[in-house]
Amino acid sequence: MKFTGIFIIFLLLLVIPAANAQEVSIAEKANQKSIIVSINEAGDIHVIHIVSSSNSPKQVELIDGEIQNLIITDEEGEEKMVTKIGNNDAVIIFPSSSDSVIEYDLKDVLFLKDNLWTLDFLYLETTSFILPEELDLIFVNDRPVYLGDQKGLSCHGCQMILEYAFDEPKNVIDVNWENQEFDIEMQTFASIENFEFDQPAKEISFDVKESNQYITTIIPLELLWGPYVVFLDDEKILFQDYKNNGTHVWINMKPNATGEISIIGTTVVPEFPIIAPLAIGFLMIMMVPLIRKFNLR
């Protein structure tokens, strides 16, 4: 019976046009233990599928793109007999008592757009991504993701646009207020001009000269505290304050037009040293018992 099933699959493959292969399910969907997409510094993408053993033929869809160096092995590294569907759109793995390992390189899916390496990814299985070690910030569907020591991410039912850059310019701006110095760091490919800090207005402002560029502003909390609101000219725009390490906050935005950006907080560095009101309050507390003692006499 097993031989007859395999023979029928071969016959089906002979009559299915390659153009329609992705639309056809020949065998049951395989159970995939893991899918790992590794991207290196040069932009090379290597994919590994780990497929559970099965006593019947199973079908595994491959990730869209130009697939090169496709190889399917068992857990010991021995090549297994498989059948390819269409132009490497999917593979049929025949019955096996061991797990299968599908490996291939993925080409022509990662490209440079607006100074960012961009991957438009769709694969409706849980997928893990391993990214270059030097990356600490990526963007997923326009949202910043701070990696820190975690050099990867997991995507469930994965449909996303992944963006990142290695050489995003960084500019540190010194802000002086009441004999105190604060460093504000700007990370962006856009040209930034006319940077200002307005203490009475609780506002940081600057002109952005290019549209559709991510701008990350790292602000000392001692200088400007949230919650924040961001405007492009007079229009409120979306932003994310996606990281706060206790001393600084990371605010990210992607203006869709040029103009003046205003980041407005609720609290700024005080006009008078904070020690003054604290000292006055302490003296008042100390004087209360003396005042009461005097009144009793």
* Residue-wise DSSP of 41-104: TT--EEEEEEE--BSS-EEEEPPSSEEEEEEEEETTS-B--EEEETTTTEEEEPPBSS-EEEEE
Question: Is the predicted pLDDT of residue 6 greater than 60, yes or no?
Answer: no
* Residues 90 and 59: beta-carbon distance below 8 Å: yes
May I ask the CATH architecture of the domain 2-164? Answer: Sandwich (2.60)
Contacts of 62 (CB under 8 A, 6+ apart): 47, 49, 70, 88, 89, 90, 91, 102, 104
Percent of the chain exceeding pLDDT 90 equals: 65
Taking CA 267 as the corner, what is the angle to CA 261 and CA 270, rounded to the nearest 5 degrees? 115
Average pLDDT over residues 143-167: 91
pLDDT in tens, 105-143: 999 999 998 889 999 999 999 999 999 999 999 999 999
More confident residue, 23 or 43: 43
pLDDT in tens, 47-80: 999 999 999 999 999 999 999 999 999 988 888 8
CA dihedral 122, 124, 127, 133 (to 10 degrees): 20
pLDDT in tens, 162-179: 999 998 999 999 998 878
* Residues 216 and 188: beta-carbon distance below 8 Å: yes
pLDDT at residue 24, rounded to an integer? 58
| Percent of residues in the chain assigned helix, strand, coil, to nearest 5 | 15, 50, 35
Structure tokens at 59: 């079908």
More confident residue, 206 or 167: 206
Domain ranges within the chain, ordered by starting residue: 2-164, 170-268
pLDDT at residue 149, rounded to an integer? 83
Contacts of 281 (CB under 8 A, 6+ apart): none
pLDDT in tens, 253-297: 999 999 999 999 987 665 444 444 444 454 455 554 544 554 545
CA atoms of 173 and 139, how far apart (whole Å): 24
Question: Is the predicted pLDDT of residue 96 greater than 50, yes or no?
Answer: yes
Residue 12's pLDDT band, with cuts at 50, 70 and 90, is very low
CA atoms of 105 and 67, how far apart (whole Å): 6
Q: What is the mean pLDDT of the chain?
A: 84
Structure tokens at 79: 């090549």
Average pLDDT over residues 192-209: 94
